[in-house]
Amino acid sequence: MKNDNKQRPIDTIVDEEFLDSDFEFVHTDKDAKIHDEKFQSKPTTFAKDAFRRFVKNKASVVGAIIIGVLLLSSFLSALSPYKISEADPGYGLMLPKIRDGGDGFWDGTETYKKAYDAETGMPIASDEKFNQRAVIKESLQVLPEYEYYTEPNANGHFGFYHLTAAQTKRGFAFFQNYSVEKGPYLNLKDTDGAKLKITIGGTDGINGNHVRPFDINLRYRKYNDFYDTEKLLPLATDIITDKEEESFDIDIGAAMTEASVTSAYYAQISIEFPIETEKTLDENGKEVETVIPDYILIEKMEFTCEETATDHAKQRLAEISFTDAGGNAFEMGPNNQHSKKHTGYWQSNVKSNLYKARCQMCTFRYDQYVAIFGLRENLNAYYGKKIIMRFVERGLATLSDPDDLSTFALVNPDSDECPVRSIVKMDFDPVEEPDMAAKYPDGYCYTVLGYRHFGFTSIPKFVFGTDNGGRDLLTLALSCLKNSLLLAIITSAICLSIGLVWGSISGYFGGNVDLIMERITDILSGVPWIVVMTLVMILLGRTYITFGIAVCLTGWIGTSSRTRTQFYRFKGREYVLASRTLGASDARLIFRHILPNGLGTIVTGSVLMIPTTIFSEATLSYLGLGLQGTDSFGVVLSENQKFLQTRPALVIFPAIIISLLMISFNLFGNGLRDALNPTLKGGEQ
């Protein structure tokens, strides 16, 4: 009847009849006592309500579960069969292994591509550096063509080398130095009469001729302008164009007189030549430009000075050093004191500085676990007559002739208890075959079972691999996790309590108290965290506790400002005023009325501080400014970073764990904030 008011014409309403009783009031709940009835809805507490909201947020629940799992597993590091303290570098840098397979996926095998033996020029799989039992036979493939290898090497065919700067100021040193741009620095003070002689030797073995023309420049700078590259002045220069020319001299003394240089100067020798490029076609037919590498073959850098030169000047010259491409220092020549003329020279040891050579290569897959923990012959240094006799005494083996270890025989060949499996006599003449004789100092070759040698009862499986010192990465990562979590939780708790007290006082009392306290926090929070951390670490040492102190020093400021804001928000409310009128003390107002209202925001801030602390610790340790002597993600990552190319797993696994930890803490914290403070839902941070 109500709904179709619009459609009906007005006169039909007027026509309708109503009774008087339609307009009378009626008591519906007369004499009912509703205050006695129980609520239809269930009562709920703040915590229950928050929990209900938290559970709704699936991502946060996942985060909380991951945190729980990580927390639990961090305590498992103590139960690991591979104790960190008992690790042996003998099985360092093992590959991660989770299954047997031999197909290359997480099975402890690695593929050697273009392997070569610099000594013989043969493919390296045949070399005894590799345990033949561990080479997977099906994968062995000898490459048909000769190729070049480019790294400093003692033995190789057609090698040549180049000179590079002695100091690298920063970062990575590369062998692709196309020109020797920055030469070694010399101090030229008091070296009147000094002469530099540079000897160029050898030939480019591949093309059979010298390198392109190049310039040798001796330049100098005034003492005060040492680092100002603009003020580099030429002192002497020599352009080497004649390919047959083998050495040249620079008379430093004469050059200095000519240039009217009288005292206290530094000089720089640079050997410079223009970069040349060539264009070739790559596999896809695309044109690529490559730089033709240049090599200067320097045999000797020699300084001489007049007999009258002071000892001081000679000492100066003797302090200079040169380094070649391989980072090997030039050999110091004999210092001829008697003639009073030579100050010594720097000679390159040609054998150790070969830079590029060619040889035949092969490709194969290698099972590292078989190589290290299977039968192997290269542990001879650990065994001798004394140790073999110990096995005999224990009844594991027999020795029919006590003076001849080759009569060694196992009592029970089926039992693997004795690490040594067999002994073969190796008699080499130290004069004729010194290398082989040095390899078997006591004249025997021991075949050893690797896992027994290292004290395992079977071949171990390192799921994440091992680091350089043979420590199981999984155990190590769990130990780091424990340390990080412990540190972060403790410091967060300390920061929470300091910040709570500071913020409460500052926010509750306001006025001048607030003004002064705010200035103090302003100053503390004005210093960047890395500055505070490093200062504390320098002053107090790089320990676990110091780091905690450094975090606590400024970490409470966030909590304090949050608490202060909450106090400002609630202290003017009517219920606080009411309580104050009733005579409540300051403590009661703070702890019973104001703090509980703001606690949600404050606690969430502290939870989010945990990942921040873990992050700062990892970052600082990674930079090498943080903890020392404690298992920490930062330390582990920075130690393993040098193996990034060869053993990426050593970096990948810890990085994944720390990232997972950070992600789940952030998820958990966000969920907690939304749950504890519903008005902020979906807001920032």
- Whether 200 and 299 have beta carbons less than 8 Å apart is answered as yes
Q: With contacts defined by CB under 8 A, how many residues of the chain interact with other proteins?
A: 55
CA distance 492 to 487: 8
Q: Which segment (146-154, 463-471, 524-532, 580-588) binds other proteins by CB under 8 A? A: 524-532
Q: At 60, is the secondary structure helix, strand, or coil?
A: helix
Q: Report if residue 496 touches other proteins, rule: CB under 8 A.
A: no
Nearest approach, Cβ of residue 599 and other proteins (Å): 23
Stretch that binds other proteins, among 86-94, 163-171, 209-217, 278-286 (CB under 8 A): 163-171
Phi, psi of 108 (to 5 degrees): 75, 15
Q: Is 684 in the site for other proteins (CB under 8 A)?
A: yes
Q: 458: helix, coil or strand?
A: coil
Query: Interface with other proteins includes 73 (CB under 8 A)?
Result: no
Kindly state the smallest distance separating residue 529's Cβ from other proteins, in Å.
10
Q: Is 615 in the site for other proteins (CB under 8 A)?
A: yes
The residue length of the chain stands at: 685
Angle 46-56/649-676 helices, nearest 10 degrees?
Answer: 130
| Residue 666 contacts other proteins per CB under 8 A | yes
Supply angle C-alpha 505, 511, 512, rounded to 5: 90
Q: Does 264 bind other proteins (CB under 8 A)?
A: yes
Sign (positive or negative) of CA dihedral 225, 227, 233, 236: positive
Tell me how far apart the alpha carbons of residues 162 and 202 are, in angstroms, rounded to a whole number.
11
> Which has the closest alpha carbon to 470: 208, 97, 93, 119?
93
> What residues contact 422, with CB distance under 8 A and at least 6 apart?
408, 410, 446, 447
Instruction: Report DSSP state, residue 204.
Output: B
- Find the shortest distance in angstroms from Cβ 624 to other proteins: 7
Q: What's the Cα-to-Cα distance from 299 to each of 175, 213, 318, 331, 348, rounded to whole Å?
A: 19, 17, 18, 10, 5
540 binds other proteins (CB under 8 A): no
Stretch that binds other proteins, among 22-30, 158-166, 368-376, 615-623 (CB under 8 A): 615-623
Instruction: Work out whether 406 is an interface residue with other proteins (CB under 8 A).
Output: no
Q: How far is the CB of 530 from other proteins (least distance, A)?
A: 6
Q: Which is nearer to other proteins, 337 or 685 (CB)?
A: 685
Question: Could you tell me the smallest distance in angstroms from the CB atom of residue 207 to other proteins?
Answer: 24
Give least dist CB 317 to other proteins, A: 13
Mapping DSSP onto H, E and C, the string for 475-506 reads HHHHHHHHHHHHHHHHHHHHHHHHHHHHHHHH
**What is the C-alpha separation between 496 and 408, in angstroms, rounded?**
69
Q: Is 519 in the site for other proteins (CB under 8 A)?
A: yes
Contacts (Cβ under 8 Å, ≥6 apart) of 343:
194, 303, 304, 305, 314, 317, 318, 335
> For other proteins, which is the closer residue by CB, 292 or 535?
535
CB atoms within 10 A of CB 232: 16
- Contact between 522 and other proteins by CB under 8 A: the answer reads yes
Rank residues 312 and 592 by Cβ distance to other proteins and give the closer one: 312
Q: Which of 150, 179, 422, 468 binds other proteins (CB under 8 A)?
A: 179
Residue 128 Cα to chain centre, angstroms: 32
Footprint on residues 464-483 left by other proteins (CB under 8 A): none
Which residues inside 95-134 make contact with other proteins, applying CB under 8 A?
Answer: none
Is the CB of 146 or the CB of 174 nearer to other proteins? 174
Tell which one of 9, 144, 285, 526 touches other proteins (CB under 8 A): 526
- Is-contact 101 461, C-beta < 8 A? no
Pick from 363, 367, 364, 365: nearest CA to 99 = 367
Among 55, 69, 292, 527, binds other proteins (CB under 8 A): 527
Which C-beta is closer to other proteins: that of 274 or that of 402? 274
Give the residue with the Cβ less far from other proteins, 306 or 514.
Answer: 514
Task: Give me the least distance between CB of 282 and other proteins, in Å please.
Answer: 12
* Minimum distance from residue 666 beta carbon to other proteins (Å): 5
**Which among 148-156, 300-308, 518-526, 554-562 is the span making contact with other proteins, rule CB under 8 A?**
518-526
Q: Of 499, 611, 626, 671, which one interacts with other proteins (CB under 8 A)?
A: 611
Binding of other proteins by 166 (CB under 8 A): no
Tally helices (H) and strands (E) across the chain. Answer: 18, 21
| CA gap 451, 453 in Å, rounded | 5
Interface pick for other proteins out of 239, 438, 530, 577 (rule CB under 8 A): 530
> What are the CA-CA distances from residue 511 to residues 505, 507, 508 (Å)?
11, 9, 9
Tell whether residue 484 is a contact of other proteins (CB under 8 A).
no
Residue 566 engages other proteins in binding (rule: CB under 8 A): no
Q: How far is residue 609's CA from residue 606's CA, in Å, rounded to a whole number? A: 5
User: What is the smallest separation between the CB atom of 46 and other proteins, expressed in angstroms?
Assistant: 25
Identify the residue among 32, 337, 641, 678 touching other proteins (CB under 8 A).
641
Contact with other proteins (CB under 8 A) among 68, 395, 443, 683: 683
The one segment of 238-246, 354-362, 402-410, 654-662 that binds other proteins by CB under 8 A: 654-662
Position 628 contacts other proteins (CB under 8 A): no
Residue 438: how many other CB atoms lie within 10 Å: 10
Task: Kindly state whether residue 651 participates in binding other proteins, applying the rule CB under 8 A.
Answer: yes
Residue 655 contacts other proteins per CB under 8 A: yes
Distance between CA atoms of residues 334 and 347, nearest Å = 10
Stretch that binds other proteins, among 369-377, 491-499, 584-592, 662-670 (CB under 8 A): 662-670
**Token pair 């000594």 in the structure block, residue:** 119
Residue 422 as a binder of other proteins (CB under 8 A): the answer is: no
Residue 48 Cα distances to 43, 168, 319, angstroms: 10, 62, 76
Query: In this chain, which of 19, 21, 227, 244 binds other proteins, going by CB under 8 A?
Result: 227
The DSSP H or E segment spanning 51 is: helix 46-56
* Contact set with other proteins (CB under 8 A): 169-172, 174, 178-179, 181, 187, 189, 223, 226-227, 264, 275, 310, 312, 316, 519, 522-523, 526-528, 530-531, 534-535, 538-539, 611, 615, 618-619, 622-625, 637, 641, 644-645, 648, 651, 655, 658-659, 662-663, 665-667, 682-684
